[in-house]
Amino acid sequence: MNLLSVTAEIFPLVKTGGLADVAGSLPKVLKSHGIRTRTLIPGYASVIEALEAATPVARYDYLFGEEATLLAGRAAGLELFVLDAPGFFYRSGGPYTDEHGVDYPDNWKRFAAFSLVASQIAGGLVQHWRPDIIHAHDWHAALSLVYAKYAEDVPIPRVLTVHNIAFQGQFPAHLFSELGLPDEAYSIDGVEYYGDLGYLKGGLQAADAITVVSPTYAREIMTPTFGMGLEGVVNARHQDVVGIVNGIDVDVWDPSIDPYIEYSYSARTPLRRLPNREALLELFGLPHTRGPVFASINRLTWQKGMDLLAAVVDEIVAMDGRLIVHGNGDADIEYAFLDAARRFPHHVAMRLGYEEQIAHKIHAGADAMLVPSRFEPCGLTQLYALRYGCVPIVARTGGLSETIIDANVAALQAQAATGVQFSPVDTEGLRHALRRALKLFRHRRVWESLQRQGMKTDSSWRHSAAKYAELYGDLTATDMRLAG
């Protein structure tokens, strides 16, 4: 089976978050189910530079006003289609924002162009390669399903994955006439969204199946608290919604062969992990401690609850713990951590930005990973932490609640616990979780059992890739029945 995956990010070529990790790792595992994935990705500079054996397969003189070439090629073991449209994608900022973090004003057009090309590939644009399924990720690609639905010559099933319903791609209605969609697409069944254009909304309506990155989040987004205005649409489509929890790339995240960490270790040799802790403290200029070393690698945003963490730094200082924060995001949260690091130089260290190598070192060296998200569709950081013996302390929400087993009495007795969950997700809840973690940390045997169970947890794509494969199989079988 041939699968066309459509995504604005893919690891290791371009990444702003978890979407890239998923889009980059799932194809490898789908291969063992006989599914051959080709991924369409925008031609950002980093992608074009990495592309090997690039062959032009289609040319556009005027794609939403820009010249463009569709390239087929490979990079980092991935089979790709790349939309090389320099006017849209060769820019000095990030994939969606300029150097100052401001959204590009033509994002509506950049991702409409990208999506239109995706729908054309789905319709057979490329000689000798026809997909059996089109699978779009998040709002940037969602419009491809809308184009495919309203085109007469795209007869394949359409899948949409929602990684985060907070990002919807909402634009003014007057742009509809520029999209080249039939008038009927500006309706409740199409892209009309509270009098605006909604790309994700359109994708939700056009998809034959909607996958959400955890079963809990799939239920949550049917409620006003988490649905962010789209709960009505998700409810209306509930029969076609399925939650499939994310897996991780267990080759990229493997402490026994990780090139970024100084001392390799595995579940069988946990003691070998210890020198990584010392190396991490040294890297961040923090003194040795017998207290716990907490870390958080995150976008510094309200969603991720990082303001809550900044507000409880004193609790960590009081227990002579250490806090290492790596990430960037909202200016006031960045400031709060920089300020904490200035006030408590022996206890708090902060490294702005995001570097993959640093993330690996932190997972290998910290005692516990803090994930205090207010909502979390799935979350990957806690899965990487499990695999590295870094005990996750997570908010009880979305995918966090179903991937971490809380260290309650029963789970501890059964030696099944892998971390700490907390609720409510506020500063008091987080303080309480930190105190619980400290108690567990002081019981060496209990803490080691948490680490061991975590490292034994199978967070690979094995189970979830099988679910995607089954879904694709069902959709193509239904499609053939309808056609026949």
Ligand X SMILES: Nc1ncnc2c1ncn2[C@@H]1O[C@H](COP(=O)(O)OP(=O)(O)O[C@H]2O[C@H](CO)[C@@H](O)[C@H](O)[C@H]2O)[C@@H](O)[C@H]1O
In the complex, the residues that contact ligand X under the rule CB under 6 A are: 16-19, 21-22, 163-164, 213, 246, 297-299, 327-328, 354, 359, 376-381, 399
Residue 21 or 315 with smaller CB distance to ligand X: 21
Tokens 């794609």 sit at which residue? 63
**DSSP class of 229:** T
Strands 368-371 and 348-352: unpaired
Q: Which two tokens stand for residue 187?
A: 């309706």
Residue 5 or 246 with smaller CB distance to ligand X: 246
Q: Which helix (H) or strand (E) holds 84?
A: strand 78-84
Helices 18-30 and 462-483, axial angle in degrees (round to 10): 70
Residue 144 or 401 with smaller CB distance to ligand X: 401
Q: In the complex, what is the shortest distance from the CB of residue 182 to ligand X, in angstroms, rounded to a whole number?
A: 32
Whether cis (ω within 30° of 0) applies to the bond prior to 215 is no
What is the strand order of the sheet 196-198 is part of? 170-171, 196-198, 192-193
> What share of residues in the chain are helix, strand, coil (percent, to 5)?
45, 20, 35
Q: Which helix (H) or strand (E) holds 69?
A: strand 66-75
Residue 203 or 377 with smaller CB distance to ligand X: 377
**DSSP class of 33:** G
456 annotated to bind ligand:
no
Residue 179 or 324 with smaller CB distance to ligand X: 324
Tokens 């619980």 sit at which residue? 436
Q: In the complex, what is the shortest distance from the CB of residue 21 to ligand X, in angstroms, rounded to a whole number?
A: 5
Q: In the complex, what is the shortest distance from the CB of residue 363 to ligand X, in angstroms, rounded to a whole number?
A: 9
What is the strand order of the sheet 36-42 is part of? 52-63, 66-75, 78-84, 36-42, 2-6, 133-137, 158-162, 209-212, 241-243
Q: In the complex, what is the shortest distance from the CB of residue 251 to ligand X, in angstroms, rounded to a whole number?
A: 15
Q: Which two tokens stand for residue 109?
A: 């057009």
CB-CB contact of 153 with 123 (8 Å):
yes
Q: In the complex, what is the shortest distance from the CB of residue 163 to ligand X, in angstroms, rounded to a whole number?
A: 4
Residue 381 or 449 with smaller CB distance to ligand X: 381
Q: In the complex, what is the shortest distance from the CB of residue 147 to ligand X, in angstroms, rounded to a whole number?
A: 23
Q: Which helix (H) or strand (E) holds 421?
A: strand 420-422
Tokens 């742009």 sit at which residue? 175
Q: CA 123, 34, 478 angle in degrees (round to 5)?
A: 55
Q: Which two tokens stand for residue 374?
A: 């207010």
Q: In the complex, what is the shortest distance from the CB of residue 301 to ligand X, in angstroms, rounded to a whole number?
A: 8
Q: Which residues are annotated as a binding site?
A: 15
Q: Which residues are annotated as a binding site for ADP-alpha-D-glucose?
A: 15
